[in-house]
């Protein structure tokens, strides 16, 4: 029952701590050069819901170029495509508890107005959301498996109410019996429901660093404020105990990092359950409470811990796990099986199943194309450097393979979205493509990024386009210590908030970077903050506190908006934009492109009429990376146009 957090408004150095970086140049060896189509010739997948009889799992796959629902037979590994959309991405959420009906979500062309659909075994579908303008999110199943929960802003576009849908009985025509369980009139968002359906845990955003937690007793109708506190503290309900006596939640109260705690409903007593020297990202219980799963954000990687609560909370050790991050853990209702994903910067996610009884690990998917030699891929290295004020900045370094002694190549900074996102050590075809074509990539997790403690997270509040940008500029000093980086050819690229950072760099530090790649980035904060989607109303004040109020802070927001300083831009850039983007409107990109062109700055502009905030279609992602590479080859490497971009005739291993 979670919506986009307010911190995720826009979703991918004076001295150096070189001793802690251990930066090494990749070994010299001949390498093949691949096209972006090959790097993207992977099967992007997610999900992993078990069928009621636990013989199949439900996943989302981009095999056809757009996400559709598939099921995998656990015994044979056979895949079956369940939906056949060719225009709008489909994301399967779950099988129904007692049969093979499938619940999935989908929007229209990336407009984020997601609806919930029920797919019957015969392939027919029913839209559970009657209001075409309403947005809805799946909230899970009741413990007795008789009801489905979802949240929707159908009553009031500003707020998400909680609904319960009866799924175990007959329906009248195409309508399932639906009841509003909680009417949200104050911006309190449902986060968890107790197994007896009595209690609902709710959260309220105050700022992006501060929130409140409430408990609604649906029997007495009383709402209790659980998080009386001072200062900036985050609270995130996770689950109720099976007996409904305790609520488990994440908080950073009295700590730099979020930890797991419990609240005793009868006594009001709070207790710390588990902590780590990093943020705990989430925690949940298996159906019968045998296992507790905890995910930790360990330095841009996911660390999973599974405890056997029937054996003194013993930490499970699973032998034979493949190398990489374990993510997406899902334990079946019988608690005999577990699905999970394994991924790394050199390998896209693959789905596995583990049998707790036999200890067998079985790989269900093989998503990497056979055309690419895994040895030609580059693993990201975690490094750190010190910024202008001594703050240590984490980053991920990708170095091209096969560089000759003395060879120097261009470098690109990679800036994540958010604000408050984090670049992690996952497979990125875009990064691998650029590195394969001899570009160094430094993915900067500048101040304000998540995963490094709440002080670091809040360090950019109302300083956007200033101190976080200075972190990026200071990274050039680190790059200068790398003998294979051409310091005369350094650019900056990013998507969403990262796209804003690109345009801020070109406008406010016009001589620091040689080119920019802006992927649907904000250029006018006054417009963006006034035009945020209505379903973000409960986050509005939190956004204004962090970024600025478009009325009260109009001068400051004007000053940090690149559009109003476009006359200072002198370096070439490329912009990529989706027409249906509800967060960064196309007019943002239209205007910055026009303003820069009026100054005689070389600008390229690519608009996708069938995309929103983030490009979901494979063909559009391929076009995006092809355009970026050609642009960089011309404007950063200085190649003639006929030599820029991919050169199929010279490539090995292509179709």
Q: Which pLDDT tens digit goes with each residue over 165-186?
A: 998 765 555 568 899 999 999 9
567: phi then psi, degrees, rounded to nearest 5: -65, -15
Distance CA 548, CA 175 (A): 44
DSSP SS3 for 378? coil
**Beta strands per DSSP E along 194-285:** 199-207, 210-217, 222-225, 235-240, 246-251, 259-264, 270-274, 279-285
What is the dihedral sign for C-alpha 447, 450, 454, 457? positive
H or E stretch at 546: helix 540-547
Helices 429-436 and 618-635: angle between axes, nearest 10 degrees: 30
Cβ count near 199 (within 10 Å): 20
How confident is the model at residue 30, as a pLDDT? Answer: 59
Give the long-range contacts of residues 260-269, CB within 8 A, separation 24 or more: 260/294, 263/215, 263/226, 265/199, 265/215
573: domain CATH number is: 3.40.50.1820
> Of 482, 477, 512, 511, nearest to 408 (Cα)?
482
Across the strands, what pairs with 179?
164
Distance CA 442, CA 197 (A): 48
| Chain centre to alpha carbon of residue 92 | 17
| Chain centre to alpha carbon of residue 50 | 23
Helix, strand, coil: what percent of the chain each, to 5?
Answer: 20, 35, 45
Does residue 100 fall inside a structural domain? Answer: no
Domain count across the chain: 1
| Chain centre to alpha carbon of residue 558 | 28
The string of DSSP letters for 85-102 reads -SSS-EEEEEE-SSSS-E
Structure tokens at 457: 């997270």
Distance CA 466, CA 471 (A): 9
Cβ count near 578 (within 10 Å): 27
Distance CA 201, CA 409 (A): 53
How confident is the model at residue 16, as a pLDDT? Answer: 23
**Beta strands per DSSP E along 299-401:** 301-308, 314-315, 325-331, 337-344, 347-355, 361-363, 381-386, 392-398
CA-to-CA separations, 80 to 69, 161, 521, in angstroms, rounded: 9, 35, 38
> Of 148, 236, 227, 162, nearest to 200 (Cα)?
162
Cβ count near 371 (within 10 Å): 16
Does residue 469 fall inside a structural domain? Answer: yes
> Of 278, 312, 313, 263, nearest to 293 (Cα)?
313
How confident is the model at residue 11, as a pLDDT? Answer: 40
Cβ count near 132 (within 10 Å): 9
Tokens 């799924």, located at residue: 167
H or E stretch at 49: strand 45-50
Across the strands, what pairs with 147?
166
Does residue 459 fall inside a structural domain? Answer: yes
CA-to-CA separations, 496 to 413, 435, 576, 585, in angstroms, rounded: 15, 22, 10, 11
How confident is the model at residue 202, as a pLDDT? Answer: 97
How confident is the model at residue 10, as a pLDDT? Answer: 47
CA-to-CA separations, 639 to 236, 600, 629, in angstroms, rounded: 51, 20, 11
Range of the domain at 499: 18-38+371-643
Structure tokens at 12: 């991918």
Does residue 501 fall inside a structural domain? Answer: yes
Does residue 417 fall inside a structural domain? Answer: yes
Does residue 63 fall inside a structural domain? Answer: no
DSSP SS3 for 281? strand
How confident is the model at residue 653, as a pLDDT? Answer: 34
Distance CA 507, CA 469 (A): 11
Structure tokens at 218: 């649906």
Distance CA 440, CA 434 (A): 8
Does residue 396 fall inside a structural domain? Answer: yes
pTM, to two decimals: 0.88
622: phi then psi, degrees, rounded to nearest 5: -65, -45
| Cβ-contact 505, 498 below 8 angstroms | no
Helices 497-508 and 467-479: angle between axes, nearest 10 degrees: 80
Q: What's the start-to-end Cα distance of the chain, in Å?
A: 44
How confident is the model at residue 175, as a pLDDT? Answer: 66
The string of DSSP letters for 469-494 reads HHHHHHHHHHHTTSTTEEEEEEEEEE
Strand duo 485-495 + 409-415: pairing: parallel
What is the dihedral sign for C-alpha 357, 360, 366, 372? positive
Does residue 130 fall inside a structural domain? Answer: no
CA-to-CA separations, 171 to 110, 207, 308, in angstroms, rounded: 31, 42, 40
* Residues of the chain with confidence (pLDDT) below 50: 2-22, 24-27, 648-655
| Cβ-contact 34, 374 below 8 angstroms | no
How confident is the model at residue 174, as a pLDDT? Answer: 58
């Amino acid at each position: 029952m979670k919506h986009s957090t307010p911190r995720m408004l826009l979703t991918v150095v004076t001295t150096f701590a070189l001793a802690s970086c251990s930066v090494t140049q990749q070994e010299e060896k001949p390498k093949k050069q691949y096209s972006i189509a090959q790097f993207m010739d992977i099967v992007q997948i997610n999900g992993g819901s078990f069928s009621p009889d636990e013989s199949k799992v439900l996943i989302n796959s981009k095999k056809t170029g757009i996400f559709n629902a598939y099921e995998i037979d656990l015994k044979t590994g056979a895949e079956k495509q369940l939906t056949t959309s060719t225009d709008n991405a489909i994301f399967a959420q779950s099988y129904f508890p007692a049969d093979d009906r499938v619940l999935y979500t989908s929007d229209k062309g990336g407009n984020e107005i997601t609806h919930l659909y029920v797919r019957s075994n015969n392939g027919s579908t029913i839209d559970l959301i009657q209001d075409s303008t309403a947005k809805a999110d799946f909230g899970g199943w009741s413990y007795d498996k008789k009801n489905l929960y979802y949240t929707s802003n159908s009553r009031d576009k500003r707020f998400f109410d909680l609904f319960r849908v009866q799924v175990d009985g007959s329906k009248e025509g195409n309508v399932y019996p639906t009841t509003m369980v909680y009417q949200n009139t104050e911006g309190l968002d449902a986060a968890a429901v107790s197994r007896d359906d009595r209690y609902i845990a709710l959260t309220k955003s105050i700022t992006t660093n501060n929130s409140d937690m409430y408990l609604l007793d649906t029997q007495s109708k009383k709402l209790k404020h659980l998080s009386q506190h001072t200062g900036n503290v985050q609270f995130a309900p996770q689950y109720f105990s099976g007996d409904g006596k305790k609520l488990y939640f994440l908080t950073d109260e009295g700590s730099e990092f979020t930890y797991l705690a419990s609240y005793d409903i009868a006594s009001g007593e709070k207790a710390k359950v588990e902590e780590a020297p990093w943020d705990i990202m989430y925690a949940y219980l298996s159906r019968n409470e045998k296992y507790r799963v905890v995910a930790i954000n360990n330095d841009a990687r996911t660390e999973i811990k599974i405890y056997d609560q029937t054996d003194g909370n013993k930490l499970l050790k699973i032998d034979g796990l493949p190398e990489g991050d374990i993510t997406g853990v899902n334990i079946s209702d019988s608690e005999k099986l577990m699905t999970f994903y394994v991924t790394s910067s050199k390998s896209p996610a693959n789905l596995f199943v583990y049998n707790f009884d036999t200890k067998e690990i079985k790989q269900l998917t093989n998503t990497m194309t056979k055309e690419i030699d895994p040895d030609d891929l580059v693993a990201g290295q975690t490094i750190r450097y010190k910024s202008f004020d001594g703050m240590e900045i984490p980053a991920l370094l990708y170095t091209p393979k096969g560089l000759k002694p003395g060879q120097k190549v261009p470098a690109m900074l990679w800036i994540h979205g958010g604000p408050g996102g984090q670049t992690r050590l996952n497979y990125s075809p875009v990064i691998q493509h650029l590195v394969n074509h001899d570009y160094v990539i430094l993915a900067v997790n500048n101040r304000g990024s998540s995963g490094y403690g709440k002080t670091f997270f809040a360090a950019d509040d109302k300083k956007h386009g200033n101190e976080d940008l200075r972190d990026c500029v200071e990274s050039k000093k680190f790059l200068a210590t790398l003998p294979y980086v051409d310091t005369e050819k350094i650019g900056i690229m990013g998507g969403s908030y990262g796209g804003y950072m690109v345009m801020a760099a070109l406008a406010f530090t016009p001589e620091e970077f040689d080119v920019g790649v802006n992927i649907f980035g904000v250029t006018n904060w006054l417009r963006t903050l006034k035009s945020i989607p209505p379903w973000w109303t409960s986050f509005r004040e939190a956004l204004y506190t962090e970024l600025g109020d478009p009325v009260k802070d109009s001068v400051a927001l004007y000053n940090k908006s690149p559009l109003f300083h476009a006359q200072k831009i002198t370096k070439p850039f490329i912009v990529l934009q989706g027409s249906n983007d509800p967060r960064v409107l196309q007019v943002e990109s239209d205007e910055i492109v026009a303003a820069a062109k009026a100054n005689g700055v070389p600008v390229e502009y690519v608009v996708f009429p069938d995309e929103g905030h983030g490009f979901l279609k494979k063909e559009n992602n391929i076009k995006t990376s092809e355009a970026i590479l050609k642009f960089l080859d011309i404007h950063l490497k200085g190649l003639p146009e006929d030599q820029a971009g991919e050169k199929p005739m010279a490539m090995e291993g292509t179709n």
